[in-house]
Structures are given as structure tokens and as C-alpha cells.
Amino acid sequence: MTKTKVKNWQIQREMPYPYEEVRPKKQFAAVFDTNKCIACQTCTMACKHAWTSGQGQEYMWWNNVETKPYGFYPLAWDVKILELLGPQQWEGRKYIGKTIFERAPGSEIAAGYIPEEMDWAHPNIGEDEPYGSVGKGDYITVPHRVWHFYLPRICNHCTYPACLASCPRKAIYKREEDGIVLIDQRRCRGYRDCIRACPYKKSLFNPATKISEKCIGCYPLVEGGSQTQCVTTCIGRIRLNGWISTPDQAEPSNPIDYLVHRRKMALPLYPQFGLEPNIYYIPPVHVPLPYLKQMFGPGVQDAVEAYRTAHKDPALLGLLTLFGSTDRWVTKYRVGEDAAFGYDAKGEEIVKVPLAEPIFIRPFWDERVQAFRHNTT
Amino acid sequence: MKRDGQRGMISHFLSLSCVLWVLMLFAACPIDAKQMVITARKVAEELPVEPDAPIWAKARAVEIPMASQVMVRPRIYSSSVKEIRVKALHNSRDIAFLLEWKDNTKDASIEMVHTFSDGAALQFPSDPERKKPHFAMGDEDGVVNIWNWKAVFEEGAEKKTVYAMVDDYLSGREAGNIMSIALKTPVQNLIASGFGSLTAMEEKAQHVSGKGKWEAGNWKVIFRRSMKAAEKSEAHFKEGGLTPVAVAVWDGSNGERGARKAVSTWYYAALEMEAPGTVYLYPIVAFLGAGVLVIGLVIYLRGRFD
């Protein structure tokens, strides 16, 4: 095992990693609200059209939405990694089980596996497949006894990427300016160590170029101050891009910091893997907690509680209205008495969203046309 | 009496040394030098293009034991290929190497995410003047030139698929990655200065030709290049000279790629030259000279002590 230790705030302890802790100046992040996702796959298609419409990319979905618990892309990816990881114990908010770096065999940097060809063949397998079955006289409880939910996934642009750690050629790098993780298309030689090591299986092999590719965090858009394709095209307005700080540097006016660090309502996906992933999920409130705890860590109960009481909190409600309200990258936000405001990096207002939609009541008698208004069909 | 005893001892010692010296001349070969040297036979004709050309019968094969790469991660503890046979030929203009090894599976396609290509590589120091670099991938002080053949780059190895593409953009190709560009040869010309540093030479410097043929559980792969190094970092070959060479081999179906491979230590490629008559004369002169010296010494010492 590697001797270098780094701090991982998501598991609240130090862990081994082949490189020293060097955080980027800003870290690309997003919050996905799973409660609002309807698996329409608009994000999936938007990404496909933007980035993976070429030769060798036919099977490739940098963004996918899978039904949990029975949907996977590639097949069984998370249950396979969870099995490799062994028991995953938490002591309060501290993870005392093993990360994939700690579980690595002596010949490797990280525990992992390479999915086989057919594992990628059914990207929407298990769609709408619920857990459990409806019995006679059954009724709905919260959490639901019969449940499923949709999990939208992109590359997590991890703070400690396993793909980067395991590439023997250092062909993968994390950008200093925004923390986006990229595969150098000139240096990669297609060894597929990144595909083996990434537990989220978001490194993909292109047989036409004989090298690997991955989600590029729409960096040309990000550089121009815009949010990514998958975020801006989301018709359910479930996503919001932003920069995330470490907990000690958290800035309450930063929408991502507020949701993740202040309100602790958005949680990382499988934090026990040890990668400090940077896509944060508002967990689905109707799903039994043990399953959610395995997927999002021990903070899940508080997160569900915060979401269920969000309607009582104008500041939180205001922030949630900013989701999907602008294509621009929201660096700061403020909630006023009747509207939420989003600001760009220069501090200029880029969006104003009313907290409540204005209501117009049209009188029964229309003065202009001198007639009653009827619902005529 | 005491002096006599001493004399006898010295005399015995000298005789014994004499015998040992003669024995050493005939027997002192701790390793078989022939097994460390791949002799590139000099031939008059053009060098072959085919790995099974009859001219290869003229070259003597050296059997090289191969070991699993366990020095750096990712390691492999059980690489498939245990032994490889190497032959070489030259004609004063070009040099060719022939590698032969057993491999029950022909892995020439990487159309699937989890399949890897068979491969082989020859490694030479870039700078013939310096001491030999690390035997696997060179080191910071010593650049190596690597000729890497991959079965997947053999013509016709992969079936051509007609795609209904939206666009024709291939990021690897646009970036100029030689993995993604259709080279005219299945051999890549690369340099390295340590593990993880392997770098492709410019596309115009991809002039190591080659061909691989798999038949009945055997790979035969030929590598060929002009003896003259076009680039400074390329392997140097001189008629009558020695060039260090190391070998690596990959079995795709055993998951071997990159550092997961079988490696050899340094060997030497000796490029045969027509030897002048004096080459045979000098050893005889030296042998006789040394004999005369020792016998002279024995006679002199005996005279002194008598």
C-alpha cells in the first residue's frame, strides 16, 4: 500500500493515496436532487449529442440515469465494488472500513475490476423495476415499502480520483483551475487501468481510437462561465453546478457549500470508496434508510429530514428554486423577501427567481369584449 | 633442512599454479557467452519481410528466459511467456530481429473493452557511449529506444465496421496519438526513461517495419530497421559492434498490457563482420607469450632456490 496520507473530509479521516493532497484552486461540483428526477434521459441525450456521437462511442454514456436498486450501467457496477470492499462500517460520521485504495491487492493501486463487453450493452437495464411487491390491502407508508428511485450519474471529478491514481503513465490529470479530471488523449495508451480502478465506472474504452475517454465536465462551457449540458438541459430542474469548498472553508453564500456543508442536505455517492466524489445527491425521501445509508453514508437521515422540512425554510426553498433557472454558473446566491438571486464570479446578478409564482385572477366579466368568460370546450 | 622444505613448497606451488593456469585457459567460462549474445549473421541479400522466410535458417537462435514484471505497480505475478527465441540478421544496411514464442491464443483484437492484444518489444539504449540504463524501460540517466509490435496493428487484425456515425471526429486521432492513427507498420517506435515515461516518437520517425504471424500456438514476429539511426535517441548499430538489447512480451488473453508483461534482462546483439586474418593470430601469440613467461618464471625461481 502506498505511504502517502491524504485528508478525506467525507469519511472524516486520513487515507492512503499515491499522490500528496493538492486541492485545485476551485473544485467543479454539482448537486442532483433525486426526488425530482423522472428518468426522462434528456441529460443523457444532451451529453450524447454533445460529446459521444462518434465512432467507438456507440456504447458510451458519460451521463446515464439508472433505476435503483436494480438498474446499473455497467451491469452490477456498484454491487460488485461493494462486494470487493467487504464490510463497510461507520463510527458516527467516521468511516472505519476500508477504501478501495486500502483494499487494493499488492499488485495494484486500487481494488477494482474491468466490466465485460456485455455489461455495457443494456444501459437502462432494470428500468422502473421496484424493490418489493405490493401485498393485499397494502397502503403507502413513508418510507415506501415498495420503492425505486432514479440515480442520474456523471463522472464525479473526484478529489482523489482512482482513475488518475492507477494510470501507470500519468495520462490522467486534474485541472488546477477547476478540478475537472481529464484523460490526455495524446498520452493514453489504452491499458484500461483507469477503467479497472474507477469504482463508478466512468472511464470508458474507445475501441476505434484504442484509448480511453471520459466525461470532460463540459470544460469548454465551464471556462466560459456556463453550467454543463446535462445540467442546463434537465427538464426536471434537478441539477445545479457550482464550486465546492472544503468544510472549513465553506461559504454560506455559495449554493453548493450551503447545501452540502451548511444544511448537509446533499451527500456524496458511496463516500466509503474513498475518492471524495464531487457530485452531491439530495437523497430520495421515500426510500428505506439502510439502503440510502449504504449509498450516501451516515448523513442520510439528517439530509432526508432537512428536505422534508425545506418548505418551512425560505432560505433553503429559495436556493432550490435556482436549480435549472439559468445556464450561467452561479457562484453566489441570496434569498430576498420574495425572490432568490444568483450571481456570477464578478458578483453581477445573472438570475432572479420569485419564491412564489405570481397569481393572476381574471374576472368572470371581460370588460374589453363585453362578455362572460366561460370554459367552453 | 628448513630451507629445503621451503624450496620444495615454493616449487610445488609454482607447478600447481602452472597447471591451474593451463586448466583455466580451457575451462574458465563461468557463463556461456554465446547464450548472452545474439549474433546478427551478415548476409549479402536483402533482409526478409516475412517472419518465416527461409533465410532465417542461417541465423542462430538465442533462448531468452522471461520473468514477470514485479518491480512496479501494476505488477503481474504470472505472466504467460516463459521463454523467447531471438534471431538476428544484417546486411550492412538493415538489421532484422526475429522473435518466436509459444502462445496458445492469438489475441489480435481489442474491439471489446476487456480484451487485450498480444505484443512484443525490443529495447536498446539510445546512447551507446553511456553505461547501460535500467533493463526495463531505462532510467532517468539513460534513455532507451523501444520497438513495440502489437498484434492489433497487423493489417486485417480488426474487422472494418461500417458505422452510422453522426460525426467523424476521433479525439485520439485529432490529438495525434499513434494508438489512434493508422500507421503503415504494426511496430511503434518509442522512447522511455523509466517506468511510465514511454513516449511515442514523431509520426515521421515511425520507420521500424515488422510483421507478425501466429501459427499453431506460435508467434513469429519480425522487426526491421535501417542500421543507421535517423534520430539521436534511436538504437545504434555498427558492423562488428555490440548493441545491448532487452525483450518484453505480452499475452493479451492473460490480461497483459503495459507494465503487466514478461521481461528479460540485457542481452547483446553482435553484428557479425568479416574478420581479418590477424584476428586469429593475436590469441595464439598471446597464449604462447603467456606460457613462455610462466615457464620462464618457474625456471628462474628454481635456479635461484637451487
Task: Check CB contact under 8 Å for B172 and A209.
Answer: yes
Share above pLDDT 90 across residues of chain A, in percent, rounded to a whole number: 93
Task: Name the pTM for this structure.
Answer: 0.89
Q: What's the number of domains chain A is made of? A: 1
Please give the grid coordinates belonging to residue A33: 436532487
Please report where in the chains the cell 551507446 appears, as a residue: B128
> pLDDT tens for residues A113-153?
999 999 999 999 999 999 999 989 999 999 999 999 999 99
- Whether the pLDDT of residue B15 is over 80: the answer is no
Asked if the C-beta of A106 comes within 8 angstroms of chain B's C-beta atoms, the answer is yes
Chain B residue with the nearest C-alpha to that of A206:
B113
Task: Check CB contact under 8 Å for A206 and B172.
Answer: yes
Mean pLDDT of A156-185: 98
Mean pLDDT of B7-17: 67
Is residue A339 assigned to a domain? no
B198: left (phi over 0), alpha (psi -120 to 50) or beta: beta
Mean pLDDT of A275-290: 98
> pLDDT tens for residues A28-83?
999 999 999 999 999 999 999 999 999 899 999 999 999 999 999 999 999 999 99
The domain that holds A22 is classified in CATH as 3.30.70.20
Mean pLDDT of B89-118: 95
Q: Quick one: pLDDT band at residue B268, thresholds 50, 70, 90?
A: very high
Q: Say how far apart CA B168 and CA B179 lie, in whole Å.
A: 17
Enumerate the H helices of chain A as residue ranges. Answer: 42-51, 77-85, 162-166, 193-197, 219-223, 229-232, 255-257, 289-296, 300-308, 314-322
In Å, how far from its chain's centre is CA B101?
14
Task: Check CB contact under 8 Å for B110 and A53.
Answer: no
- Other C-beta atoms lying within 10 Å of the C-beta of residue B152: 22
Q: Which domain holds residue A252?
A: 5-294
CA distance A137 to chain B (A): 48
Mean pLDDT of A198-213: 96
Between A134-143, A323-332, B26-35, B103-112, the lowest mean confidence (pLDDT) is in B26-35
Which amino acid is residue B31, in one-letter code? I
Is residue A344 assigned to a domain? no
Chain A residue with the nearest C-alpha to that of B179:
A210
Task: Check CB contact under 8 Å for B112 and A207.
Answer: yes
Instruction: Give helix then strand counts, H and E, for chain A.
Output: 10, 19
Fold held by B33-274 = Immunoglobulin-like (2.60.40)
Which amino acid is residue A350, in one-letter code? I
- Whether the pLDDT of residue A263 is over 60: the answer is yes
Q: What are residue A14's DSSP bridge partners?
A: A7
CA distance A60 to chain B (A): 11
Asked if the C-beta of B110 comes within 8 angstroms of chain A's C-beta atoms, the answer is yes
Cis peptide before A288 (omega within 30 of 0): no
Chain B residue with the nearest C-alpha to that of A185:
B172
- Whether the pLDDT of residue A208 is over 70: the answer is yes
Residue A108: which of B73, B195, B198 has the nearest Cβ? B73
Taking the domains of chain B in order of start, what are their residue ranges? Answer: 33-274, 279-306
CA distance A155 to chain B (A): 18
Mean pLDDT of A13-21: 97
> pLDDT tens for residues B148-159?
999 999 987 766
> pLDDT tens for residues B189-245?
999 999 999 999 999 999 999 999 999 999 999 999 999 999 999 999 999 999 999
Residue A168: which of B70, B175, B258 has the nearest Cβ? B258
- Whether the pLDDT of residue B306 is over 80: the answer is no
Secondary structure in 3-state letters for chain B: CHHHHHHHHHHHHHHHHHHHHHHHHHHCCCCCHHHHEEEEEECCCCCCCCCCCHHHHHCCCEEEECEECCCCCCCCCCCCCCEEEEEEEECCCEEEEEEEEECCCCCCCCCCCCCCCCEEEEEEECCCCCCCCCCCCCECCECEEEEEEEHHHCCCCCCCCCCCCCCCCCHHHHCCCCCCCCCCCCEEEEEECCCCCCEECCHHHCCCEEEEEEECCEEEEEEEEECCCCCCCCCCCCCCCEEEEEEEEECHHHCCCCCCCEECCCEEEEECCCCCCHHHHHHHHHHHHHHHHHHHHHHHHHHHHC
Q: Quick one: pLDDT band at residue B279, thresholds 50, 70, 90?
A: confident
> pLDDT tens for residues B40-88?
999 999 999 999 999 999 999 999 999 999 999 999 999 999 999 999 9
Please spell the DSSP secondary structure of A309-376, one letter per residue: TGGG-HHHHHHHHHTTS-SB---EEEE-SSEEEEE-TTS-EEEEEESS-------SEETTTTEE----
